[in-house]
Amino acid sequence: MHTQTKTSPKTCLPAGRPFLKWAGGKGQLINQIKEYLPPEIVAAKRIEKYFEPFVGGGAVFFWLSQHYPIKKAYLYDINPEIITAYQTIRDRVRELIKELQQLEEQYFKIRPPRREKFFYDRRTEYNNFISVRIKNHLVRRTALMIFLNKTCFNGLFRVNSQGLFNVPFGRYANPTICDEENLRAVSVALQGAEIEVKDFKHCLKKADANSLVYFDPPYRPISKTANFTAYIKDGFSDKDQKRLKKVCDELSEMGAKVILSNSDPKNVDPEDDFFDELFSQKQYKIRRLDATRMINCNSEKRGMIKEILVRNYPLLKEPK
Ligand SMILES: C[S@@+](CC[C@H](N)C(=O)[O-])C[C@H]1O[C@@H](n2cnc3c(N)ncnc32)[C@H](O)[C@@H]1O
């Protein structure tokens, strides 16, 4: 079960991958996003300072850290549970693996019909930690978060209006609960990273002309039924999207390189120019990328949609 840690052939860095499935995860878009990296970074083959202020599952961070050694990473999210998980993996990966292995063993010892009860008991245990609001038992808490993410329906992290995890049981025959080699690789990738619960604007305090900042904020909902902002209880409004644009302006002034992705509102309403108007100044370039996304609660309604990619720098050659 435990094979060798995979390494990227180009750089020999450990190949850490997202350790959680996360709503809005960017895994499927990386092949396109990588065509739009700043030419200076591509030429230098390294990144001085990398900021991901809406880190979520961190798909872009993990991809970049395998291909462009990052001198210093700053990973923020407003969600304290995801940040606790990153910090625990960075600082206490050995204890975490032990705890997860125990959960895995217990889960597979139980016959499938009774696994559902085990899942709901662990969900209650996890929610008790959240509702007490004290930052304690960090290893157990992170282990439970990963366990629930791997065994719940659709592998999501969704909370209700009180901030409690409310995804039902998933009925997977053989989920990988403790991916030891990946957790170790993730821990290596996170060494030296600043990981904090912060609003996205915090990056202004630390960024400079040597920084690459990737913003992947909660999507503007692309249909009235698709509520993709459900993973935080306070949502992300158009006012926040505008506040974020101001942060992009300040970063641009200091010479930082900025990339921002979001859903394209034109998927639903071709007349909706929200982002085109918001980023209308000359320094911003907007491209539209192809993505596959669930556009409805009904998983049969997966379809091709566009995502927008905004950046504040030119490329040597624009991809077609
Ligand atoms: C689209 S997801 C990011 C997905 C991520 N790029 C990935 O690949 O998994 C957006 C994230 O923004 C976080 N968030 C929401 N509002 C925020 C805010 N004001 N400041 C920082 N993070 C915020 C959410 O908790 C969520 O994890």
Per-residue model confidence as pLDDT tens digits over 58-67: 999 999 999 9
pLDDT confidence bin for 97, thresholds 50/70/90 = very high
Residues 6+ apart with CB under 8 A from 58: 18, 52, 75, 86
Q: State the distance from the centre of ligand 1 to the C-alpha of 9, rounded, in angstroms.
A: 30
Residue 28's identity, in one-letter code, is Q
Report pLDDT digits (tens) over 21-48.
887 778 889 999 999 999 999 999 999 9
Six token digits for residue 236: 């992300």
Residues within 6 Å of ligand 1 by CB = 22, 24-26, 53-54, 56-59, 76-79, 82, 199-200, 216-218, 231-232, 236
- Cα–Cα nearest to 33, from 263, 281, 293, 319: 319
Same domain as 266, residue 301? yes
pLDDT of residue 2: 37
Report pLDDT digits (tens) over 173-226.
899 999 999 999 999 999 999 999 999 999 999 999 999 999 999 987 655 544
Cα distances (Å, whole numbers) of residue 23 to 29, 30, 48, 165: 14, 15, 28, 14
Q: Whose CA is nearest to atom 25 of ligand 1?
A: 79
Q: What integer best gives the mean pLDDT of the chain? A: 88
pLDDT of residue 105: 97
DSSP 3-state of 320: coil
- Burial category of 298 from C-beta neighbours within 10 Å (exposed 0-12, middle 13-18, buried 19 and up): exposed
Report pLDDT digits (tens) over 269-318.
899 999 999 999 999 999 999 987 654 444 445 678 899 999 999 999 88
pLDDT of residue 220: 79
Contact 246, 258 (CB under 8 A): no
Among 78, 83, 86, say which to mutate for ligand 1: greatest number of ligand atoms within 8 Å of CB.
Answer: 78
pLDDT of residue 24: 73
Six token digits for residue 302: 């997966």
Same domain as 210, residue 296? yes
Atom of ligand 1 nearest to the CA of 236: 16
Check pLDDT > 80 for residue 3: no
Among 19, 20, 54, 308, say which to mutate for ligand 1: greatest number of ligand atoms within 8 Å of CB.
Answer: 54
Contact 201, 272 (CB under 8 A): no
pLDDT confidence bin for 125, thresholds 50/70/90 = very high
Q: Whose CA is nearest to atom 20 of ligand 1?
A: 199
pLDDT of residue 293: 66
Same domain as 233, residue 299? yes
CATH of the domain at 53: 3.40.50.150
pLDDT of residue 199: 97
Q: How many structural domains comprise the chain?
A: 2
Atom of ligand 1 nearest to the CA of 201: 20
Residue at 190 is within a domain: no
Q: Give the domain range for residue 232.
A: 27-77+198-311
pLDDT confidence bin for 135, thresholds 50/70/90 = confident
pLDDT of residue 222: 58
For the segment 41-57, the average pLDDT, to the nearest whole number, is 97
CATH of the domain at 139: 1.10.1020.10
pLDDT confidence bin for 12, thresholds 50/70/90 = very low
Residue 294 main-chain phi, psi, to 5 deg? -75, 120
Same domain as 203, residue 73? yes
Same domain as 228, residue 171? no
Residue at 320 is within a domain: no
The residue length of the chain stands at 320
Helix 180-190 × helix 59-67 angle, to 10°: 70
Alpha helices per DSSP H over 11-92: 30-33, 39-44, 59-67, 80-91
Q: State the distance from the centre of ligand 1 to the C-alpha of 91, rounded, in angstroms.
A: 22
DSSP 3-state of 153: helix
Report pLDDT digits (tens) over 80-93.
999 999 999 999 99
Contact 57, 97 (CB under 8 A): no
Long-range contacts of 289-293 (CB under 8 A, 24+ apart): 289/29, 289/32, 289/33, 289/261, 290/32, 291/28, 291/29, 292/28, 293/222, 293/263
Same domain as 232, residue 213? yes
Six token digits for residue 150: 């791997």
pLDDT confidence bin for 4, thresholds 50/70/90 = very low
Same domain as 70, residue 203? yes
Centre a 10 Å sphere on the Cβ of residue 208 and count the other Cβ atoms it contains.
11
CA distance 133 to 131: 5
Report pLDDT digits (tens) over 143-184.
999 999 999 998 888 888 888 999 999 988 899 999 999 999
Six token digits for residue 63: 């991809």
Among 232, 234, 240, say which to mutate for ligand 1: greatest number of ligand atoms within 8 Å of CB.
Answer: 232
Atom of ligand 1 nearest to the CA of 57: 9
pLDDT of residue 27: 80
